[in-house]
Structure 1
Amino acid sequence: MPSVWRSVSTLLLLPASISAVTLDCSHIRADKQSWNLEKLGGPKTVHRVRWERPSIENTTFTIDICGPLEKEKDLSKDEQCTSGTRICGREWDYPRGRDGFVKKVIPIAGEYSATHGRGMEPKYTRLKDSTGNTEGKEGVIVELHGGKYPNERSGTPQKAIIEFLCDKSVTGNEGFDNEKALTHPADYGMMEERRDDDNNDDDDDEPDLPDLDEYKNLKFISYKQEGDNEVLRLRWKTKFACEGVAKNKPSDPDTPEKGSSSSWGFFTWFIIILFLLIAAYIIFGSWLNYNRYGARGWDLIPHGDTIRDIPYIVKDFGSSVAGRMQGGESRGGYSAV
């Protein structure tokens, strides 16, 4: 009996795992408009570089809009975000005369139901309908949740707001192939020494730090406390944020796409509901047979004899169909005159 219940419990978990996929980057829809951001998939990085005397602080935000981030081989376990993360922040600290090290790891958005019960819960807003859009910008705003820092129930909730802005001249993937890095960060520490030697009394005067995202269309806007959440804001210019592009295949923007993804959503829910109804019928029937008749094994399952006979029924049906076809071809053993 326990093995039967374990099997049924495993079956019931399958629809939950299907419905847990809450962000489909190939079909984002808001206000009767659709966007396909599939071509922006894969890990992308954007930076916030600040001068925090006596160190340089470089917070690297890694984002994959289409799937969970994979583990990076050159980083230790403590320097990685947990499984299911879509947006991860790593705060690097570069003290003067020392190598950089990871000071914080911040899971900002992803599926963390097993950790502290929060999901990504994506929200989409058509940019033309957003408040404060007086310039008539075109695109979509994607809001993602799930993360906490520290990564526990008592941590501060995290949120990411990504503004995908229509720009027909770029794909949005430019600039990531030649990723910039803070080379020789000790040189920037020497800038502070030279500034002190010059007896500069202006404490607000900071050395010029490099723009690590100079040639990217993904830009860091802000990361700060907003209400009860710490909010990361990004802006991503891409032609895939233009309205009407999602009607075409990503590989060929001039070729109309066949079919509609909305029908697939209905079909998925139909399968899930049908699966749940069948599972509920089997569970209730098994419980009834066990408590009323003391049944065991196959006798627990409603119509167990019929289920066991299905292979033989199929075999007999196939043999019958094959026999009829052969009988029709032979004309009953007589030759035509």
Structure 2
Amino acid sequence: MRFVSAEQVARRAGVSRSAVSRTFTPGASVSPATREKVLKAAEELGYHVNDLARGVLNNQSRLVGIVATKPEVGFRAHLTAALTKALIRRGSVPVLINTGQTEEEMLAAQKMLIGHRAEATIILSGSPPESFLDLARRNGQPVVLIGRCEPEADHVRAGNSEASIEAARLLLAAGRRKLAFAGSHSATPSILERQIAFVAEVEHHGFSVQIAHGEDSNYDCGVAAARALLAEGDRPDAIFCANDLIAFGVMDVLRREGGLSIPQDVAVIGFDDVPEAAWLNYGLTTFRQDPLIMAQRAVDLLERRIANPEADQGHDRVVPELVVRQTFVPANVTEV
């Protein structure tokens, strides 16, 4: 593979190699006539500046790593898309690394990014080990976390507790008394926070919560959780689901296998507001995490850290808003 070189542009334009370099260096001194000849030659040849080489010379690049596990699934897919767009607007080059959550896998991803002199790393999955943060600090690489809290790193989190408490209060105010929570065994810190806050609020009002888990935080997990709740005999009249994918599985089992009506027999509330939540087959009432807002907040923290490496850790919290559809309509609230 042979890319067009700056030397070829210089020969076509009839100028020196350094003139080509100055033309494509912001703020460098070059005459208007020379600039015009260089740009014309570059256009004819299809030349583009070698940003990778510049990054090596400057010991940094415009690369920003996005480290995620299963970035194609659920809300994370939309957050990943929003992050790439926000980084491109900033002038960065996003690099997605699909990895696992073990310390070895996380460190392998980080070493790859540091080896390519990535400017920063944004983590969407798993809590990074201390060795990850230590290596980033020693290399001066900013790390931003989304969806989890680490005292040694900048992070953006959803208001999981606030939304879960609101879900409990709204269901109880609607007269629902047999409440359940559908979660997963492989829960992220965010999902665990939702479960803890929901259960605590319901118990605070003197009621108990049935808890059912599937393996992973996806549709199959919702199917397993719903079947477990139906098997207990004393079925719930309301289920708060850790995310929308779980809610979809719960709803399909309640209707197809339980013969139940939603929300007449069982109210269902989700979390995330992925696009499928508005599909006619679901019409899911849920708490909306806006991926565009979450992504921009993460980029803002990144820019803050780059501008001031010694600043205190930035902690941002975005409280989700309830989107009311057909699966549960609180009193005095209009569904969308």
Q: Which of the five TM-score ranges fits, normalised by the shorter chain?
A: under 0.3
Considering fraction of residues, name the structure with more strand. 1
What TM-score, normalized by structure 1, do the two folds share?
A: 0.21
**Rg larger for:** 1
